[in-house]
Amino acid sequence: MRGPPTSGAPPVSGAQSYSQFGQGETQNGPPPMGAPPQRPPVSQTYTPGAVNLSGPQPPFSQQFGAPPVSMQQMTNQMASMQVGSTAPSPAGPGYGKYLCFCELICLLYIFSLPGAFGQVRGPQPGYTGPYPGQPNYGAPPAAPAPAPPATKRLDPDSVPSPIQVIEDDKANKGSEPFTTGVRGQAPPLVTTKFQVKDQGNASPRYIRCTAYNMPCNSDMAKQSQVPLAAVIKPLAPLPPDETPPYLVDHGESGPIRCNRCKAYMCPYMQFIEGGRRFQCGFCSCVTEVPPHYFQHLDHTGKRVDCYDRPELSMGSYEFMATVDYCKNNKIPQPPAFIFLIDVSYNAVKNGMVGIVCQELKTLLDYLPRENPDVESNIRVGFVTYNKVLHFYNVKASLAQPQMMVVSDVADMFVPLLDGFLVNVSESRVVIESLLDQIPEMFADTRETETVFGPVIQAGLEALKAADCAGKLFVFHSSLPIAEAPGKLKNREDKKLVGTDKEKSLFQPQVSFYNTLAKECVVQGCCVDLFLFPNQYVDVATLGVVPTSTGGSIYKYTYFQASSDQERFLNDLRRDVQKPMGFDAVMRVRTSTGIRATDFFGSFYMSNTTDVELAGLDCDKTVTVEFRHDDKLSEETGALMQCAVLYTSCSGQRRLRIHNMAVNCCSQLADLYRNCETDTVINFFAKYAYRSVLSSPIKNVRDSLVNQCAQILACYRKNCASPSSAGQLILPECMKLLPVYLNCVLKSDVLQPGADISLDDRAYLRQLVSTMDVSESHVFFYPRLLPLQKLDVESISVPVAVRDSEERLSRGGVYLLENGLNIFLWVGVNAQQELLQNIFGTPAFGQIDPNMTSLPALDNPFSKRLREIIESVRAQRSRYMKLMVVKQEDKLELIFKHFLVEDKSNNGGASYVDFLCHMHKEIRQLLS
């Protein structure tokens, strides 16, 4: 992927940055890149022995040989060679069975051109043997080598490539459906498209684990430091070809449960005594089968009706809950949506008020419903506010809506009951009249101050009065400085960044919102916050209620109707329409031996076990960490059952059950064979992002690095064959851990640049806490698609390239997405034809960098490109605004921020540098 000569040279900065790891301090320390002569030759060991010990030779070559896909890529532009730091071919015999095939060995210190040094010690005899065709391990960075001294650095191609791993997984696992029947089987990666067949365990769309083979006891777990966690997305949407969970109704007595641990009926319940009793798979307690549920067993001990009942044969299903599962033992009312719109000067001026009102008129027809043929049961209500609140009576019988102003914001109350929450179809005329008039009424407003606390209180009180759960959509523009509960002051102080007090910037500045959030959760009042700030609004404080109630925060800084309308509207539409549950409680039960100890996400916990979610939508993810409190057995494995009790959008009370069984191992090697790095990173990111609230960021970063080093060191020590200390040996399934970890470390939250605002950091911090694995993956390691080779005939998307500037060709056009933004990067030397096809202009100079959507041109390339952008957007929960970035333009700096394998300009290490650093850490641990 090396570009033409000019871009090929490794940036000088790369060499400088390296020094941060300590120039040549030890023998084994990473050498300074830019100074090859100082490099101690002894440290450059590449022991083929390590390779030899790993096992039989034949697969070895496969292991290191570049797999076909990547090889092609590489050879396209690479003049000489490539070290495949990649996965073994799946076709390789014994894949996954032997340690040697599962591990990746790579050399950190690689001498490149023999001519550069007098003696080449690195490559041992026989080195070329296993690597036929790759005599020069560690290729010069640029083929023509215009700058020979710079070639001494480690070749990025020699380190494990995320793209390679992703593509391999696609090739290996994407073709066949993934069946969940087998315990402890790692699913395909999140980047792979695959179909799931539920055969007794929850689909990976619902639950992904960090390890599918858990250590049997806590000692092993402690030793390995591999986090044991599950990332659970209880209401995850399924592709159309997969069946949604069946709804099971056990009648008036409610779902059958274990007497002791209260686990719900599931495939792990063992029926005994001819089916009269069942033994709980979680706690082993024996429970009588109620007469109405009795069924005979067949000769294998299975119930005869096993396959007729989802709860006995499936991993995921739903129960109808009875009145016992309802608040106050009352069948819940259908939920309500309340729209609370800021109508202060800023909000009116930037066009938000007009857009929201206009959009709601149509959007209200698409409120969530279970059956698309019937009307939604959800009632709606409207409030506008600045320093005071305006409630609207939109009762169907009125000719005109009525506004009720509540100026007593110190002591919020709801001024009306009847007529505030209405059925859309009944009150349509009045609602439309209202939405037409709101922008007019406040068009000339001079009020700049806003309140915020009372706004949420108002919504909460309205739901209380109506005795239902629901969701508030708050459209807010500015720091609430008006005199009212929850009033905030501007505390933006960049001087604190990097100090021990930095954590306070992530903490709410007043405790008011924590208390309020608690009240919201009790009522089942979920809050979604749409922010349109022009300056500091204190997202850290305003976000407390949304993040405690299962809500979302959307932020549109410097919102302008012309350029941000599309993004906002798409977000709003999706947010209003998306399937969700209300007033939810999630409980994770596990086999005796482990326990869910920590939870990450947007929710509130009043005790240590129940995750309370005022609202739970299809995008929300909860990451659960497990710890041992006893031993697990290899026979039974580890079971977990996630039960979510919620009110559906039609007002039904339901229980969604996800079951998951993983293996247990007494050998560390087994553990390391069955981990999922993406999930580990998801956990680490959430863990770290939460830790910044309580610890200095430096400590958080250090402990992340430390834990990773321990994981890898433990592997090295216990699982990898003895080898030279100079070798970095990574477990196969964790070989991307360093690169991804580096991305987490250099993310804006943990290592802010000068240009990022405190609000943005708080926003991202809260955003990551609810991400599922695929979102966190692309967020930390953006997807970079080369477009110049786009095959307009094919429906496939071009293979991504690694996030590094070196991979960009000056003649190319690339698409980069990270789940929040899409960039279209245009090289200065891009072909005229390409530009013509995309932009309708052949001249690079004429491309308007401010465009937010591509012109709809009638040529196959343009069509296909726009299709790709749409499909990429469709995969993400938030609409991504398109930014066109021209090479060597000012904006390119922003773009470069997402090239995460490179050294970032705020001090983040490059991938290669970090890997070296990691290696050093591991070696320190080992020695």
Among 64, 391, 532, 600, binds another protein (CB under 8 A): 391
Rule CB under 8 A: say whether 307 interacts with another protein.
no
- The dihedral through the CA atoms of 120, 125, 126, 129 has a sign that is positive
CB of 564 to another protein, least distance (A): 29
Q: Which is nearer to another protein, 299 or 446 (CB)?
A: 446
Minimum Å gap between C-beta 404 and another protein is 5
Measured between alpha carbons, how far is 88 from 795 in angstroms, rounded to an integer? 28
Taking the C-alpha atoms of residue 340 and residue 359, their distance in angstroms, rounded to an integer, is: 14
- Could you tell me the smallest distance in angstroms from the CB atom of residue 410 to another protein? 9
Q: How many residues contact another protein, by CB under 8 A? A: 26
Binding window for another protein (CB under 8 A); candidates: 303-311, 406-414, 594-602, 639-647: 406-414
| 184 counts as binding another protein under rule CB under 8 A | no
The number of CA neighbours under 13 Å toward the Cβ of 335 is 32
By beta-carbon proximity to another protein, the closer residue of 408 and 833 is 408
Bridge partners, residue 213, by sequence? 663
**Residue 406 is a binding residue for another protein (CB under 8 A):** yes
Among 143, 261, 388, 894, binds another protein (CB under 8 A): 388
CB 789 within 8 A of CB 699: no
**Which residues sit opposite 641 in a β-bridge?**
589, 659
- What DSSP element (H or E) covers 730? strand 727-731
Question: For 475, which DSSP code?
Answer: E
Nearer to another protein, 398 or 429 (CB): 398
| Minimum CB distance to another protein smaller for 357 or for 622 | 357
Encode 634-668: b = buried (16+ Cβ within 10 Å), e = exposed: eebbbbbbbbbbbbbbbbbbbbbbbbbbbbbbeeb
Give me 707's structure tokens: 């834990």
- Token pair listed for 766: 């809260």
- Beta-carbon count within 10 A of 371 CB: 8
Which one of residues 299, 374, 399, 858 is an interface residue with another protein (CB under 8 A)? 399
- The answer to the question of residue 413 lying near another protein (CB under 8 A) is yes
Interacting residues of 486 by C-beta distance below 8 A, sequence separation 6+? 451, 452, 453, 454, 480, 510, 512, 513, 516
**Segment (H or E) for 272:** strand 270-272
- Of the listed pieces 164-172, 403-411, 657-665, 756-764, which binds another protein according to CB under 8 A? 403-411
Q: Say if CB 546 and CB 444 are below 8 A apart.
A: no
Q: What does DSSP assign to residue 660?
A: E
Name the minimum Å distance from CB 414 to another protein. Answer: 9
Nearer to another protein, 116 or 429 (CB): 429
Residue among 553, 615, 340, 602 at smallest CA distance from 461? 340
Which of 23, 52, 402, 831 lies at the binding interface for another protein (CB under 8 A)? 402
Determine which residue in the list 424, 434, 744, 800 makes contact with another protein, applying CB under 8 A: 434
**Nearer residue to another protein within complex by CB, 401 or 782:** 401
- Nearer to another protein by Cβ, of 326 and 388: the residue is 388
What is the full DSSP assignment across 771-834?
--HHHHHHHHS-EEEE-TT--SS-SSPPPPB-SSGGG--TT-EEEEE-SSEEEEEE-TT--HHH
When the beta carbons of 333 and 666 are compared against another protein, the nearer one is 333
Burial bucket for residue 284 (CB in 10 Å: 0-12, 13-18, 19+): middle
Among 25, 408, 629, 867, binds another protein (CB under 8 A): 408
Give least dist CB 398 to another protein, A.
Answer: 7
β-strands 653-665, 213-215 pairing = parallel
| Residue 174 or 415 with smaller CB distance to another protein | 415
Residue 348 binds another protein (CB under 8 A): no
Nearer to another protein, 288 or 483 (CB): 483
The interface region with another protein, picked from 110-118, 346-354, 433-441, 452-460 by CB under 8 A, is 433-441
Q: How far is the CB of 513 from another protein (least distance, A)?
A: 23
- Calculate the alpha carbon distances from 228 to 98, 597, 868 in Å: 23, 10, 36
b/e string for 234-249 if b means 16 or more Cβ within 10 A?
bbbebeeeeeebebbe
Asked if 856 touches another protein (CB under 8 A), the answer is no
User: What is the 8-class DSSP label of residue 366?
Assistant: G
Q: Do the beta carbons of residue 70 and residue 701 sit within 8 Å?
A: no
Contact between residue 464 and residue 338 where contact means Cβ atoms under 8 Å apart:
no
Instruction: Name the minimum Å distance from CB 415 to another protein.
Output: 3
Looking at the Cβ atoms of 406 and 736, the one nearer to another protein is 406
Which of 390, 503 has the CB closer to another protein? 390
**Tokens 């690079």 belong to residue:** 844
Examine residue 396 and tell whether it contacts another protein (CB under 8 A): no
* 398 near another protein, judged by CB under 8 A: yes
Instruction: Find the shortest distance in angstroms from Cβ 435 to another protein.
Output: 11
Which of 252, 373, 418, 444 is close enough to bind another protein by CB under 8 A? 418
Tokens 């995309």 sit on residue? 838
Which tokens in the block code for residue 894?
């922003």
Nearer to another protein, 391 or 839 (CB): 391
Task: In angstroms, give the least distance from the CB of 428 to another protein.
Answer: 17
Specify the length of the chain in residues: 927
What is the residue type of 755?
Answer: D
Task: Check binding of 415 to another protein (CB under 8 A).
Answer: yes
Counting contacts by CB under 8 A, is residue 119 touching another protein?
Answer: no
The interface with another protein within residues 435-464 (CB under 8 A) comprises: 437, 440-441
Helices H / strands E in the chain, number of each? 27, 30
What is the distance, to the nearest Å, from the Cα of residue 113 to the centroid of all Cα atoms in its chain? 41
Judged by CB under 8 A, does residue 854 bind another protein?
A: no
Is 798 a binding residue for another protein by CB under 8 A? The answer is no
Q: How far is the CB of 436 from another protein (least distance, A)?
A: 9
Q: Could you tell me the two tokens for 475? A: 């459209």
| Contact pick of 308, 411, 833, 888 for another protein (by CB under 8 A) | 411
Out of 234, 267, 419, 546, name the contact with another protein by CB under 8 A. 419
Residue 338: CB minimum distance to another protein, A: 17
Among 42, 79, 331, 417, the residue binding another protein under the rule CB under 8 A is 417
| Binding-site ranges for another protein (CB under 8 A) | 388, 390-392, 398-408, 411, 413, 415-419, 434, 437, 440-441
